[in-house]
A and B are shown apart, each in its own frame.
Chain A
């Protein structure tokens, strides 16, 4: 591929009608391009793709000194001047100059340092916007965050001091308690909840960076920037970027594994194995990440296909699949996490949320991005070219089958989570899993945006409108999400005097006070509202609602904190059992406002 090759537009030139046979727009409107005038006798080419056309660019007309001095007119001197004689004598049959090959295009489509820096600057802006959106969120610890952080502290205590774990976290966590919780607890120990949440922000910013990089590799900078910009303002991205749970770490590791797969497309096939431990680590951090591994494996095929033979590409995919499979198998045998995997991920209890509701939610949270991605994929299948430059026509065309497969895999991944959650009939974590899927659809959405904007930024307003719409949705949804749980700071202050290592507490969300009072209390002292076993004073074994009633009748709990949100049915049973109960008096009623309206903490204290 050389820069100065002449090119005759072919029938498949997607920009042919836009380029209008070489016409250009200038400030006076459309000016049909005329052939260069070699008789001017000047070499306007500078050898590096710069052409000058005097008629097309009249404003660039340059003054010049004629090569032949002007002769005096009407003089008597009939002797030919030396100069005239020279002209007459030396007129060649062929011009003494040559017209350079006219470059087909006046700019360079190859990567340049300037373009790289401009792209990075734009990416930095995107990351800044993402960081600002995440950092503006504010609330006390959500129960999941509180649980993972408290568990992480317990794991740390076990690692450092041999303190026995208060609970078998591995049995019911949806990710390994030895990975993210420990890391987050370390950060939490140094910088508090804001620090742990900022760790998630780092993961999410890195994810956006990797998304940019891999999309650039798959397509180009423009699509990559668009993909990053859209992903950065997603509801799930903004929330996960300030949410101290596994999710940010898992999505980062998935992005890293995908990036490795894409980045090593031209490297020896074995290099793809670098992605295997990262992918398996993602699954270890959060088991649900396994849902996205097939996509990573198929990408190993699709990224290698155009350059390697089909056999080599398939071999690469098989290699990665085997690598991941082997590591996963080793992980399963070497750890005791399978029970947790089964309970929280594979055999998760089915909920009662309807398919219509879940699909509506999915559409609200990721629909626009998904549609953009599908639009991008369809457009990409129809036309592979990603660059205005006519030279781009001669780039490798991976073929429509590969393009269709890539579009299908990337967009299809985005529907995996909603489909699985519809199967489970639960919206628990749906928004986060939608975010996982949209990470893969984002490159296609980036393509969609570039196609929407058109060549030469013809319709930038469309891209801006799309992004602004997603930004508004992302902000509104993230704010809504972060206000779903009540601010617990007053509750924490109200119960602070009653926290010690002896008492027994009942709470709608035991994780939250446990996190804030992890120094004073342990997990064993906290009873939740999701099932209880109790043997009363007469030795009768009770479970479920009756256990709560009997325990309260006996004054088993020293403090009760109800929020009326987490499990309203059991909260009502407890409130009824506490009313008029000789052991308890109301300690505090703390109204709060959340996304769903208003509610209140009701705190009861045992006084006799």
Chain B
């Protein structure tokens, strides 16, 4: 009897221990750690259950209609300039370009503002104070990761044009300061950091200046590869030094680029110098973009910078622009590509 009681006491103790252990912990494996994902991709995004899946930018990579873009002072952080531009040209731009310096924080509000009006944001990211060699060596990894995380968490598509006009000697990251190898390494480093962080909502635009003024610089050595680039962004302006034909402005660059990649092209920055020829230049711009299926569209640089590129500077040209922009092939709501 005593033996039986003792056995029962021992059994009770064991059971109690099992109960406590079993009730308090999962068996076998380490308990799940804190959620490293930090709120997931939908944090701070447009909201709703749809947003919990990363935004799929693939339909935006080569849409059936053309991007009708603009770079306007103060936009997209404030959409007043864009609204005025819309009023002026008669069509809402669906691609808003702005300029950010390497080291700046990500302007998620601006992207949201543009998105709310059916426009995609294109950020020209310019490393004024950080040599590309440092970026390539990983010196800016922490900043890039933080930036990429912010972009990912926004979960809206963003176009990033990193260190554009690299083939020009006038930029701090241009040919006088950076080798092609450094440029490619820096590009890949930034791109891979974004990919590692999971920021799949970025469209990468590799953006040389048109080769006309710097014909001695080969573009191919600067090309990071099709695995790192979504768009080829061409930066070129109609100036009085060259003739007005589309092919004269962009043809040489396009031909050179087509030798090493078939990625779609965007006139990432363009405008025509004010003057009598401006109407023709604008007509050629629309025709050139329309004629080439691989040409995604253009961004009109509506600033007064080194020259007055604003449309309002030439009422006749503006009228022509307005007429051509009314074409249905230009502009679409990027939220429903």
Which of A178-186, A529-537, A584-592 touches B?
A584-592
Q: Mark B10-37, 1 if CB is under 8 A from A, else 0.
A: 0110011011001101111110110111
**What are the residues of chain B within 8 A of A600 when measuring CB–CB?**
37, 198
- At the interface, yes or no: B8 with Cβ under 8 Å from chain A? yes
Q: For B200, give its contact among A17, A579, A583, A587 (CB under 8 Å).
A: A587
> Is A595 within 8 A of B15, CB to CB?
no
> Is B19 within 8 A of A479, CB to CB?
no
- At the interface, yes or no: A477 with Cβ under 8 Å from chain B? yes
Q: For B54, give its contact among A473, A589, A598 (CB under 8 Å).
A: A589
Whole-angstrom CA separation of A578 from B25 in the bound complex? 39
Whole-angstrom CA separation of A480 from B22 in the bound complex? 12
- At the interface, yes or no: A494 with Cβ under 8 Å from chain B? yes
Restricting to A455-500, which residues have a CB under 8 Å from any CB of B? 459, 461-462, 465-466, 468-469, 472-473, 476-477, 479-480, 490, 493-494, 497
**What are the residues of chain A within 8 A of B58 when measuring CB–CB?**
585, 587, 605, 607
Q: For B30, give its contact among A361, A452, A579, A596 (CB under 8 Å).
A: A596
Interface size on A, residues (CB 8 A): 48
> Is B32 within 8 A of A594, CB to CB?
yes
**What are the residues of chain A within 8 A of B152 when measuring CB–CB?**
589
Whole-angstrom CA separation of A586 from B37 in the bound complex? 17
- At the interface, yes or no: A593 with Cβ under 8 Å from chain B? yes
Interface SS of chain B: helix, strand, loop or mixed? loop
Question: Nearest chain A CB to B317's CB is how many angstroms away?
Answer: 37
- At the interface, yes or no: A581 with Cβ under 8 Å from chain B? yes
- At the interface, yes or no: B226 with Cβ under 8 Å from chain A? yes
**What are the residues of chain B within 8 A of A582 when measuring CB–CB?**
225-227
- At the interface, yes or no: A29 with Cβ under 8 Å from chain B? no
> Is A472 within 8 A of B23, CB to CB?
yes
- At the interface, yes or no: A546 with Cβ under 8 Å from chain B? no
> Is A595 within 8 A of B32, CB to CB?
yes
Restricting to A171-203, which residues have a CB under 8 Å from any CB of B? none
> Is B56 within 8 A of A497, CB to CB?
yes
- At the interface, yes or no: B281 with Cβ under 8 Å from chain A? no
Whole-angstrom CA separation of A591 from B197 in the bound complex? 11
Say yes or no: A476-B35 contact (C-beta < 8 A), given A462-B15, A494-B53, A589-B198.
no
**What are the residues of chain B within 8 A of A462 when measuring CB–CB?**
8, 11-12, 15
Say yes or no: A494-B11 contact (C-beta < 8 A), given A580-B188, A595-B29, A595-B32.
no
Among residues of B, the one whose C-beta sits closest to the C-beta of A473 is B22
> Is A598 within 8 A of B33, CB to CB?
yes
- At the interface, yes or no: B52 with Cβ under 8 Å from chain A? yes
Q: Mark B220-253, 1 if CB is under 8 A from A, else 0.
A: 0000011110100000000000000000000000
Instruction: Offer 7 A-B interface pairs, CB within 8 angstroms, sorted by A.
Output: A585-B200, A587-B58, A588-B200, A595-B26, A598-B35, A600-B37, A605-B58
Give the A-binding residues of B (Cβ under 8 A). Answer: 1, 8, 11-12, 15-16, 18-19, 22-23, 25-30, 32-33, 35-37, 40-41, 52-54, 56, 58, 61, 152, 188, 192, 195, 197-200, 225-228, 230, 262-263
**18 additional A-B residue pairs with CB within 8 Å, beyond A477-B27, A480-B29:** A364-B27, A465-B15, A466-B15, A480-B27, A490-B53, A585-B58, A586-B195, A586-B200, A587-B58, A588-B198, A589-B198, A590-B41, A590-B53, A593-B37, A596-B29, A596-B32, A597-B30, A608-B226
